[in-house]
Structure 1
Amino acid sequence: MSRRLAKAAVLSFALFATGLGGNQAAADNLADALVGAYNTSGLLEQNRALLRAADEDVAIAVSALRPIIDWTTRIQQSFNRARTGALVTDTDTATFFSGLTFRQLLYDGGAAVLAKQAAQETVLATRQALIDIEQQVLFRAVTAYLRVLLQEQTVELRQNNVRVLGEELRASNDRFEVGEVTRTDVALSESRLALARANLSTARGDLTSAQAEYVNAVGRAPGRTAGEPRLPPLPSSLDAAVALAVRNHPQILGAQHDVRAAELTVEQQRRNLGPSVQLQADVGVTENYGNANYNHSASAGVVFSQNIYAGGRLAALVRRSMAVRDAAKANLINVQKNVIQGVNDAYVRYQTATASLTASNERVRAAQVAFEGIREEATLGARTTLDVLTAEQDLLDAQLALVQDRIERSLAAYQLLSAQGVLTAEHLGLAVQIYDPTLYYNLVKDAPAVVSQRSKDLDRVMKALGKR
């Protein structure tokens, strides 16, 4: 075994032990990937728009409690033929009408108020859905970054493996020339080198795929990666992780708001079975074409109405809302179970990855010692070329396993954050402008009129969002 081969093998282990070069200045790190995903995600933008639509549902419900004023203008041509005894008369009149109609709900048993409260609960549920989508977006960015890092390290290890096996082939040829080994030993070295080159090609292809996924998840191509990220703060026990998830996970909180909204809707539909009272007023002027006649009129009154029969529609709406409420309650139970299971799975995954990483570190240490020992024994003729190649492959396999275990531990740690419901830009302290879901809601919750100052503020907000 030549000294060049020994030098290449030592270089391989040194690069691996230091994380393949370590962190470098101005390199992309995990925080950069998370910031990019948060700022460019179309999925987040889509669900923010859905939240704004839910905000408007509150304004629509509020409007039912407000007066309604309609302006009506009508031009009408009337033809009439009347017979009185033997006398037949034809009348042809053209009129113009313009007037205002005013309506105000006075009483509906509280149905309109309940509809507003149900819409508010739906807004709160939609906000939690947005947080859940944010977690999905950020976890995808974590996965994309770690996958790129894994493939980069795999490519580097396989590149060094090709260099080491190239040195081995040259050493085998040198020893064959002086009669120390046979042609079979040279062929073995050539075979292993060819396999190493094929594996390197595959690793480069996997890296290209990982980079493409990074672009999709983060919104830009990856630069030089800064290496494995530091682990985030994690819970001290499984019980602590479950307790936090039950209190905080957006899926649970959203399902709770869905149940409350469904309960309010049931009560609203029941109130709709009762009577309603409206104040109505009209004022207008009617003028006749062809003469100077006109008529000014005004009226006001209180209208009481009670549905007696509507083909069973109202009762069906009550039963339907009750079924939706029952489904929401069942969904809450399922969501709670799924979240708890998700925390258990993520916690076990992290614990397993940590134990596997410890074993892999020991495996790399032992494989390195074995490789160096077999290499020295081969120089004395006590080991064959096949023994050296096998030991070198064992060392490479151990190094690759250690890289995978490091990435797996990091991925499990962030999965545990997501399972607890805290994988958010705010919790992670990302350097981004956090989306404020209350800003738009506060502008529309009182259903501002088109000519109001609040409406002008809304126009500026929509312009800033690029929607007008």
Structure 2
Amino acid sequence: MMKRTGLAAAAIVASLLSASMTKAETLADALTSAYNNSGLLEQNQALLRAADEDVAQAVAATLPVVDWSLQANRTWNNSQPSGDFAVVNSRTLQFNAAMTLYDFGANAFAIESQKEIVLSTRQTLRGIEQDVLLNAVQAYVNVLRDREFVELRQNNVRLITQELRAAQDRFDVGEVTRTDVALAEARLASARSQLASAEGTLAISIEGFRVAVGRAPGTVSAVSPAPVSRSLADARAFAVRNNPSVLEVQHSVAAAELGIRRAEAALGPRVSLNSFVATDQDSNETVQLGVNVGQTIYSGGALTSQIRQLKANRDSARAGLHLTVLSVEQAVTNAFASLQVARAARQASNEQIRASRVAFQGVREEATLGARTTLDVLDAEQELLDAETNLISAQADEVFASYQLLSAMGLLTADHLNLPVQQYDPSVYYNLAKDSPELLSPQGQALERVLEAIGRE
């Protein structure tokens, strides 16, 4: 039953790998595919474009608003002496224009606040990019590690099978007892069970790779840790200045400050210009131009309450910035420590493998001379297997910790890694939309072409 289970697991893994083992797979290939296939990146790019439009709408509030209306009326009047209804038809075409002339800077503060929100959203997108790439690194390392685990377990099964045959041969000639054969059989059954478990874990990792990268993995190759030469103090200081989470909250605090100034400016008077041109059915024209000055005297305390609310939100954002800095520093420290531990574990595992291999070969030779038992050989082989397993895990941990440290420092981006991808430039759409262009203007037409191109991707 155990052998059939192992064969079934092997068949599952083989079916998952068969379509993708035809070409070599590097980490750069995986990161490139993850960037190009990420729906999460596309989602947040769209959210950034929506934030850009908030700037356009804030700018539009400072520009003239022009509209038109056409009114047609028919009036029946029975005030005639004869009692008949007098029918009067009237048509009026009117153009209206209005523009805020002065508002104590409220609209200007609104524009600057929206700009800070755009900058904050850009950092959110940058953080999402790092998450996408770090997930791809994790998926790649998992497949690489679990594939090596499967190969190691397969070699272990073959080796113990050889030991079982040797024990059986020595038993047949009376050199060992039945106990030695049973020990080898039990160890072989355990090795087959561990192989089936490793194959199942590899199948899970392959599916995780498909989700993170957008396709099945090819033949993954060994990868070196990312170059990280900074000391812990330098890494922490750099992360506080460059991590997108910190920069995102900094812009949020700035936006909150500007929101307070906008609300305070709204307490002052407002000056606006209004005009209209009207033409009736007799081609009589009416032109009016006026200036309106107004100010809210009493609003039940709503405006002052809004200011207090905005200040509370500002204070919350400031506290959030402090917590974010602490979180980023902790992330850098944790990643740096994990990297150091993984490096030490790798070096120790290499030494352990060297010593365990010498010990295993010696015990095996001594067993052929009758100086060691089958159990001694199996134990020595298990120690060598454990050492090789520890090395594989340490290598995988070291690679992931190095990229985790890059992410904490804000450097795990397509630009920093020089990935061959078409990077999303947030300034292109913003520069087209920020001045609130009309649909028929050159900028408006360019925006439509950009959106059409995005929709076709």
Mark the CA change 1:235 to 1:247 in structure 2 (over 3 Å): closer, same or farther: farther
Deviation at 1:328, TM superposition (A): 1.1
442, 449, 456: which one aligns with 1:460: 449
* Cα distance in structure 2, aligned partners of 1:312 and 1:90: 54
* Cα distance in structure 1, aligned partners of 2:22 and 2:354: 30
Aligned to 1:31: 28
246, 249, 259: which one aligns with 1:265: 259
**TM alignment of 1:27-106, pairs within 5 A:** 27-78=24-75, 93-106=88-101
* Cα distance in structure 1, aligned partners of 2:58 and 2:385: 66
* Cα distance in structure 2, aligned partners of 1:217 and 1:414: 16
Aligned to 1:129: 124
Mark the CA change 1:414 to 1:89 in structure 2 (over 3 Å): closer, same or farther: same
Name the SS of the counterpart of 1:196 in structure 2.
helix
Name the SS of the counterpart of 2:299 in structure 1.
coil
Matched, 1:432 2:399: no
Deviation at 1:90, TM superposition (A): 7.3
Aligned to 2:388: 399
**Contact 2:23/2:218 (<8 A) preserved:** no
Aligned to 2:213: 218
**TM alignment of 1:252-401, pairs within 5 A:** 252-287=246-281, 295-401=284-390
Aligned to 1:174: 169
Mark the CA change 1:76 to 1:331 in structure 2 (over 3 Å): closer, same or farther: farther
Deviation at 1:92, TM superposition (A): 5.8
Deviation at 1:77, TM superposition (A): 4.6
Aligned amino acid, residue 392 of structure 1: E
**Contact 1:51/1:123 (<8 A) preserved:** yes
Deviation at 1:27, TM superposition (A): 1.0
* Cα distance in structure 2, aligned partners of 1:272 and 1:381: 97
Name the SS of the counterpart of 1:466 in structure 2.
helix
Name the SS of the counterpart of 1:277 in structure 2.
strand
Aligned amino acid, residue 395 of structure 1: L
* Cα distance in structure 2, aligned partners of 1:212 and 1:35: 18
Name the SS of the counterpart of 2:455 in structure 1.
coil
Matched, 1:152 2:141: no
Aligned amino acid, residue 52 of structure 1: R
Aligned to 2:14: none
Deviation at 1:332, TM superposition (A): 0.8
Mark the CA change 1:444 to 1:120 in structure 2 (over 3 Å): closer, same or farther: same
Name the SS of the counterpart of 1:181 in structure 2.
coil
Deviation at 1:94, TM superposition (A): 4.2
Name the SS of the counterpart of 2:292 in structure 1.
strand
Matched, 1:421 2:410: yes
* Cα distance in structure 2, aligned partners of 1:81 and 1:202: 97
* Cα distance in structure 2, aligned partners of 1:53 and 1:452: 20
Aligned amino acid, residue 63 of structure 1: A
Deviation at 1:164, TM superposition (A): 0.4
Deviation at 1:93, TM superposition (A): 4.3
* Cα distance in structure 2, aligned partners of 1:209 and 1:261: 44
Name the SS of the counterpart of 1:103 in structure 2.
strand
Number of paired residues? 437
Deviation at 1:236, TM superposition (A): 2.9
* Cα distance in structure 2, aligned partners of 1:34 and 1:206: 22
Matched, 1:120 2:115: yes
Name the SS of the counterpart of 2:221 in structure 1.
coil
Deviation at 1:53, TM superposition (A): 0.5
**Contact 2:252/2:317 (<8 A) preserved:** yes
**Contact 1:75/1:94 (<8 A) preserved:** yes
- Runs of 5+ unmatched residues, structure 1: 1-23, 288-292
Name the SS of the counterpart of 2:24 in structure 1.
coil
Aligned amino acid, residue 398 of structure 2: R
Aligned amino acid, residue 26 of structure 2: N
- Give the stretch that moved more between structures: 31-40 or 365-374: 365-374
Spell out, residue by residue over 1:436-464, the C-alpha distance to the aligned partner (whole angstroms, 9 max, x if none): 11000011111111110111111111111
Matched, 1:250 2:244: yes
Deviation at 1:80, TM superposition (A): 6.8
**Contact 1:235/1:241 (<8 A) preserved:** no
Deviation at 1:398, TM superposition (A): 1.0
**Contact 2:51/2:117 (<8 A) preserved:** yes
Deviation at 1:81, TM superposition (A): 7.9
Aligned amino acid, residue 252 of structure 2: D
Deviation at 1:313, TM superposition (A): 2.1
- Runs of 5+ unmatched residues, structure 2: 1-20
Mark the CA change 1:363 to 1:77 in structure 2 (over 3 Å): closer, same or farther: farther
Aligned amino acid, residue 465 of structure 1: I
Deviation at 1:78, TM superposition (A): 4.9
* Cα distance in structure 1, aligned partners of 2:396 and 2:30: 16
Aligned to 1:199: 194
* Cα distance in structure 2, aligned partners of 1:91 and 1:338: 81
Spell out, residue by residue over 1:195-244, the C-alpha distance to the aligned partner (whole angstroms, 9 max, x if none): 111111111110000000000000010011112x1222213311110111
* Cα distance in structure 2, aligned partners of 1:128 and 1:235: 25
**Contact 2:225/2:400 (<8 A) preserved:** no
Mark the CA change 1:465 to 1:364 in structure 2 (over 3 Å): closer, same or farther: same
- Give the stretch that moved more between structures: 231-240 or 327-336: 231-240
Aligned to 1:410: 399
Name the SS of the counterpart of 2:261 in structure 1.
helix
Aligned to 1:234: 228
Aligned amino acid, residue 56 of structure 2: A
Matched, 1:441 2:430: yes
Name the SS of the counterpart of 1:465 in structure 2.
helix
Mark the CA change 1:87 to 1:326 in structure 2 (over 3 Å): closer, same or farther: farther
Identity of aligned residues (%): 49
What RMSD in Å do the two structures reach over aligned CA positions? Answer: 2.0
Deviation at 1:126, TM superposition (A): 0.7
Aligned to 2:137: 142
Mark the CA change 1:381 to 1:415 in structure 2 (over 3 Å): closer, same or farther: same
- Give the stretch that moved more between structures: 172-181 or 31-40: 172-181
Aligned amino acid, residue 123 of structure 2: Q
